Amino acid sequence: MEDKLNEVKGIMAEKLELPRDIVMNLPKITITGDSEITIENHKGIICFDKERIKVNTKIGIITIEGKEFEILFIGGSTVTIGGKFEFVDYNREA
């Protein structure tokens, strides 16, 4: 049932020319160089230390690896992380 609802939301977003990430509450990842990442529409931070971050989203877990991580901004469903990024991985939920 949820798959059908998401399909309808996707069609409506396309027909009305609305951003899919907002209509369907999908994560939006913005990477600026190798030193800043913003993740919108997340569902929480699972793990955070100076070398690894895991962020939960509606459609899977985003893992970021690197060095010297710090949270630059967190508010609502948006988080901005600074540091030296080496690897970003997305694992879809089973």
41-93, pLDDT tens digit by residue? 999 999 999 999 999 998 899 999 999 999 999 998 899 999 999 999 988 76
Q: Domain with 43 in it: what CATH number?
A: 2.60.40.2000
Domain that holds residue 40: 27-92
Q: Could you tell me if residue 78 is inside a domain?
A: yes
Q: Which residue, 19, 28, 24, 18, is CA-closest to 5?
A: 24
Total domains in the fold of the chain: 1
Q: Could you tell me if residue 62 is inside a domain?
A: yes
Q: Which residue, 28, 23, 54, is CA-closest to 39?
A: 28
Helix, strand, coil distribution of the chain in percent, nearest 5:
20, 55, 25
Q: Could you tell me if residue 21 is inside a domain?
A: no
Q: Could you tell me if residue 11 is inside a domain?
A: no
Q: Could you tell me if residue 88 is inside a domain?
A: yes
pTM of the model: 0.75
